Amino acid sequence: MEKKSNTQLIWEFLYGCKRYFVVFIIAQLITSLCQMLTPQIVRSTIDNVLGGKESDFPAFVMRLVEKVGGFAYIADHLWIMAAALMAVATVQFVSNYFGRVYNTKAAESLSRNMRNRLFGHIQKLPYDWHMKNHTGDIIQRCTSDIQTLRNFLAEQLTALLLTVIKIAMGLYFMFSMNVKLSLYAMLPIPVIIILTVIFSKDMHAGFKVCDEMEGVVSSMVQENLTGVRVVRAFGQERREKDRFEAKNEEYTNLWIKVGHLMGRFWCSQDILTSLQTLLVLVLGAKMCVEDAMLPGEYVAFLSYNAMMAFPIRRIGRVVSEMSKAGVAIDRIAYVVNSEEEKDPEDAKAVPLDRDIVFDHVNFSYEGSKEILHDVSFTIPAGSTLGILGGTGSGKSTLMLLLDKMYALPEGSGSIRIGDTDIREIKTGYLRDNISIVLQEPYLYSRSLKENIGITNADFDLETIREAARAACLDETIESFSKGYDTFVGERGVTLSGGQKQRAAIARALTKDVPIFIFDDSLSAVDTETDAKIRAALEEKFGTATIIIISHRITTLSKADNILVLEDGRVSEIGSPEKLRTSGGLYNQIFDIQSGNV
């Protein structure tokens, strides 16, 4: 995947909304021009209409004045100048209105594009990428960082362009009236640029640290709210509160530090601008007294200087916002440039109702010791395999590799379905044909009907109920006041552990696929319900290959074969009857759970 530069990403984000920005800029140019014309009308009224001085306006302006009747006629009808001011103000109002409307359209379209792009890309990122990045930090990149970049592009960057144009217009009119005073007015500009260069590097570093710390705080909040029942169960509210306050204090102090830096930067600009305004005011008044400048020119010059004061200060503010936006686009680019899951060009869609073969599989998670060591076994098509082993023995890892949640590196063995290595099978096709219930069932904040039928939006209620019956959940759901329309709280917190597991099983059973995986998904249900679910599975999906991971011997008792893992190695494999007499780990666990010890 080709890494995109920040400029390329911004250009892509602007797709479909560039025309809105163009309209906005044109409208703001008209607005700025109207602002620049107003002092000229006031100047002409004072010097030409009332003062009787000759005009130095361009020929086309003088032709317009002559058509009205000349300055003498306008002096007797001052409402004409008032009408001119009203006309300019009206054009300014209309252009400013449309500019703001189209800027809002551009900004919201830009935000939509960025959110869609990030969310869509995140859906395609590998499972291990999500394991390495905190959820709270990802959310912050998709919300706060997008908002920062949106504000900069829609407000600060366009404002910078308009500021440059407004300063150029203002200087043009100022130089046309008095060159010497205009040069004095320009004195703070190079100083402000130098200060901006000096401060910008430190501001960028400060914003980056603050943004990263905001991600840490967001992750802490997200984890705490998600695990609120654990916090309450162990009475850790005070400890969690203290942890959050300490991290929040650190985050606050970072922003205060940046605030001090920005305060020094902005104050230095304000002092320079105030001194410049005072200098222009005093020198301009002196020139008027010495007849080196007309009163109308002086008033107009002060107006232009006042108009330019904020844009000049704004250049520095835009640079500080540019530092924040630079950090934001770097964090967004990290997500967009992360490598998506990809299949080989010749990836296949082969029949999956075949034997599953693990052949000398070795695997380790990034940065950890090896989890699986030379694991080899075969699951005949249509059979049921039980997997037993201690915590950390690699049971779930086997299934995550089979579902390609993690990619099996080259040289680490192979996993085949039939005669085809799963590396050569299309990932989407493979997962469409495997129905998996993970060790930790996840339910969305939706109704039970939506949670169970999430694999296909076209499922009718009867299909969903059939799956719920097989998972021994239908009667429980019917006992709820709203039945299948019962809303499930975040992560299923309104349900018991067994109800969540059965809902996840029902969701898996809505798919008619050749391979089913149940990763310790019956641990929270009683033995009677466990037996009913297994019987329903055998009846409903007798021809499918079923893999059941469990610590409970009774759950695995009806399996055709049982694989026993110890420290990531295959220690035993065979039928329950065979393993019962082998004297190995399976037999030891059987005796303990049967009360024979």
Residue 597 has pLDDT above 60, yes or no: no
Helix ranges restricted to H, 445-526: 448-452, 461-470, 474-479, 497-509
Least confident range from 379-388, 413-422, 444-453: namely: 444-453
Written as six digits, the tokens of 345 are 């060009």
In this structure, are residues 150 and 110 in contact, taking their beta carbons and an 8 Å threshold?
yes
Written as six digits, the tokens of 42 are 């006031």
Residue 524 has pLDDT above 80, yes or no: no
Rounded percentage of the chain residues whose pLDDT exceeds 70: 95
Comparing 252 with 524, the larger pLDDT belongs to 252
Helix ranges restricted to H, 56-187: 59-68, 70-76, 79-123, 127-132, 135-142, 144-151, 158-177, 179-185
pLDDT at 143: 85
Confidence band of 317 (pLDDT split at 50, 70, 90):
low
Name all domains of the chain by residue range, CATH numbers in brackets.
6-336 (1.20.1560.10), 356-594 (3.40.50.300)
Confidence band of 416 (pLDDT split at 50, 70, 90):
very high
Q: How far apart are CA 315 and CA 259, in angstroms?
A: 18
Output the furthest CA–CA distance in the chain (Å, rounded).
Answer: 121
Least confident range from 23-27, 128-132, 455-459: namely: 455-459
pLDDT at 86: 92
Residue 312 has pLDDT above 80, yes or no: no
pLDDT at 215: 76
Q: What is the pLDDT of residues 68-107, one digit of tens each?
A: 778 787 787 888 888 888 998 999 999 989 988 998 898 8
Query: What order do you get walking across the sheet with 515-519 strand by strand?
Result: 434-437, 515-519, 545-549, 384-389, 561-566, 569-574
In this structure, are residues 139 and 218 in contact, taking their beta carbons and an 8 Å threshold?
yes
In this structure, are residues 32 and 165 in contact, taking their beta carbons and an 8 Å threshold?
yes
pLDDT at 140: 82
Residue 235 has pLDDT above 70, yes or no: yes
Q: How far apart are CA 14 and CA 361, in angstroms?
A: 47
Query: What order do you get walking across the sheet with 414-417 strand by strand?
Result: 370-379, 356-364, 414-417, 420-421
Confidence band of 234 (pLDDT split at 50, 70, 90):
low
Confidence band of 596 (pLDDT split at 50, 70, 90):
low
Mean pLDDT estimate for the chain: 83
Q: Which of 23-32, 61-70, 170-179 has the highest mean pLDDT?
A: 23-32
Q: What is the pLDDT of residues 533-584, one digit of tens each?
A: 777 777 766 688 999 998 888 888 888 999 999 989 999 999 988 888 877 8
pLDDT at 1: 58
